[in-house]
């Protein structure tokens, strides 16, 4: 007597939205996620608001100073300072790195890939979630910073509105620093697979390397202009004078740097995980 075998039913492939939902739950199930974002946001705001408040506190009693202050583009410099941008890139680069390496260090990544063998799909979902969270984070922090700093400067009639020339570009560029840096951190996380190493790598690549690249020589200037931090400085420089620098470049070029870094980092994060042992 033979027993008929039940036909084998292939397990359905995981839908991308389901993978994204799973990555979302994994990210927000950690208490450290919310707290780390809150601390980073408050630190960025503290640098910006503190700078604006310091200017108002020691405001000179000079006729026409407010008009000169605005004409020189200083309100926009205070809306998002270089110190704040440094903190933003440090925090979000580390966030992206740890979002990847956290699973590697605990071994949870093996369980994830055992449940969903499509590694690229899993990593693509993780990258999308990290990029989305960081974009919202950057937008909120930048919007609050702009509103707070200009409100403080307005007490001396030196604040500007969002429709001021250069203000929309500065706000968008500052907000997008967060997802760009986070994606770079995630890419380094997939390559290094060690939390501390990936965080240090993101600091070296995003912040220290631009410091050693001067703009007084052609090739050094080309390399410097290819860095996200220098691109942000170009986009935030509202009264930009091409004649004041040896090798001027355009805002379009700076936006292109943003896009290429984000796309390249996402591609590295998705592709390098395919055949690597975890």
Q: What angle is formed at CA 20 by the lines to CA 17 and CA 22, rounded to 5 degrees? A: 110
Q: What is the pLDDT of residue 134?
A: 97
Residue numbers in the chain where pLDDT is lower than 50: 1-2, 6, 8
Q: What is the pLDDT of residue 6?
A: 47
For residues 152 and 62, what is the distance between their CA atoms, to the nearest angstrom? 18
User: Cβ(98)–Cβ(199) under 8 Å?
Assistant: yes
Residues 49-71: pLDDT tens digits? 999 999 999 999 888 889 999 99
Residues 61-113: pLDDT tens digits? 888 889 999 998 899 999 999 999 999 999 999 999 998 887 776 667 777 76
Among 130, 50, 132, which Cα is nearest to 83's? Answer: 50
Token match 């975890």: residue? 278
Output b/e per residue, 165-202; b: 16+ Cβ within 10 A: ebbebbbebbbbbbbbbbbbbbbbbbbbbbbeebbbbb
For residues 126 and 113, what is the distance between their CA atoms, to the nearest angstrom? 13
Q: Does the reported pTM lie above 0.85?
A: yes
Q: What is the pLDDT of residue 16?
A: 84
| H or E segment to which residue 188 belongs | helix 167-192
Q: What is the pLDDT of residue 1?
A: 45
Q: What is the pLDDT of residue 266?
A: 95
Kindly state the tokens that stand for 7. 């036909």
Q: What is the pLDDT of residue 122?
A: 86
For residues 173 and 91, what is the distance between their CA atoms, to the nearest angstrom? 17
């Amino acid at each position: 007597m033979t027993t008929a075998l039940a036909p084998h039913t292939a397990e359905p492939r995981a839908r991308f939205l389901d993978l994204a939902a799973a990555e979302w739950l994994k990210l927000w199930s950690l208490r450290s996620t919310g707290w780390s974002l809150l601390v980073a946001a408050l630190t960025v705001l503290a640098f910006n608001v503190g700078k604006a408040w310091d200017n108002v506190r020691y405001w000179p009693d000079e006729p026409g100073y407010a008009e000169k202050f605005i004409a020189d583009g200083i309100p926009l410099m205070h809306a998002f300072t270089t110190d704040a941008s440094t903190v933003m890139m440090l925090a979000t680069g580390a966030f992206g790195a740890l979002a990847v390496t956290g699973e590697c260090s605990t071994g949870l990544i093996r369980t994830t890939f055992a449940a969903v063998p499509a590694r690229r799909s899993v990593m693509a979902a993780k990258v999308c979630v990290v990029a989305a969270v960081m974009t919202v984070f950057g937008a909120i922090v930048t919007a609050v910073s702009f509103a707070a700093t200009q409100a403080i400067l307005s007490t001396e009639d030196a604040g500007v509105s969002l429709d001021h020339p250069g203000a929309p570009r500065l706000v968008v560029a500052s907000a997008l620093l967060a997802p760009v840096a986070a994606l770079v951190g995630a890419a380094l996380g997939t390559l290094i697979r060690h939390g501390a190493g990936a965080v240090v790598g993101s600091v070296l690549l995003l912040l220290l390397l631009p410091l050693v690249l001067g703009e007084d020589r052609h090739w050094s200037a080309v390399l410097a202009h290819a860095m996200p931090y220098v691109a942000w400085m170009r986009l935030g420089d509202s009264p930009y004078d091409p004649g004041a620098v040896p090798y001027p470049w355009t805002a379009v070029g700076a936006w292109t740097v943003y896009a290429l870094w984000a796309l390249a980092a996402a591609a590295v994060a998705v592709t390098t995980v395919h055949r690597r042992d975890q």
